[in-house]
Structure 1
Amino acid sequence: MPDTLRRLSVRQWSLAGLAFCVLMMGVALGLEHIGGLEPCPLCIFQRVAVLAAAAVLLVAAIHNPRGRVGAALYGGLSLAAVLGGIGVAWRHLWLQSLPPDQVPSCGPGLDYMMDILPMRDVVGMVLSGSGECAEIDFLLLGISLPGWTLIGFVILAVAPLGILLGAFRQRHPNLNGRHRPA
Structure 2
Amino acid sequence: MQWLDRLGPRPGLLILGVGAWGLVGAGLVIQEIDRLNPCSLCIFQRLLYLLLGGLALLGAALPRGHKAWSLGIAGIALAGFLTALYQTLMQAFPSIIDECSYTDPGPIERLVDWLGMQYPPLFMATGFCGSKEWEFLGLSMANWSLACFAAFGVLALWLAGGLTGVGGRKSA
- TM-score by shorter chain over 0.5: yes
2:55 is the counterpart of 1:56: yes
Matches within 5 A, 1:89-108: 89-100=84-95, 103-104=98-99, 106-107=101-102
Question: Gapped runs of 5+ residues in structure 1?
Answer: 114-120, 170-174, 177-182
Q: Aligned partners of 1:105 and 1:63: how far apart in 2?
A: 38
Number of the residue aligned with 1:180? none
Q: Aligned partners of 2:16 and 2:103: how far apart in 1?
A: 34
Structure 1 residues 17-65: Cα deviation after superposition (integer angstroms, max 9, x where no partner): 1121122112210122222101100001111111111011011010121
Question: Gapped runs of 5+ residues in structure 2?
Answer: 112-126
Cα RMSD after superposing both structures: 2.8
Matches within 5 A, 1:136-147: 136-147=132-143
| Identity between Structure 1 and Structure 2 (%) | 25
Structure 1 residues 86-118: Cα deviation after superposition (integer angstroms, max 9, x where no partner): 000000011111244764473489xxx6xxxxx
Q: Aligned partners of 2:137 and 2:145: how far apart in 1?
A: 14
TM-score (norm 1): 0.71
Structure 2 contact 70–157 (Cα < 8 Å) conserved: yes
Structure 1 contact 14–159 (Cα < 8 Å) conserved: no
Matches within 5 A, 1:1-182: 1-2=1-2, 4-65=3-64, 70-100=65-95, 103-104=98-99, 106-107=101-102, 121-123=106-108, 132-165=128-161, 176=170
Greater Rg by CA: 1
TM-score (norm 2): 0.75
Secondary structure (helix, strand or coil) at the match of 1:39 reads coil
Secondary structure (helix, strand or coil) at the match of 1:133 reads coil
Report the CA distance shift for 1:6/1:94 in structure 2 as closer, same or farther (over 3 A).
same
Structure 2 contact 100–129 (Cα < 8 Å) conserved: no
- The one-letter amino acid paired with 1:141 is L
Report the CA distance shift for 1:16/1:158 in structure 2 as closer, same or farther (over 3 A).
farther
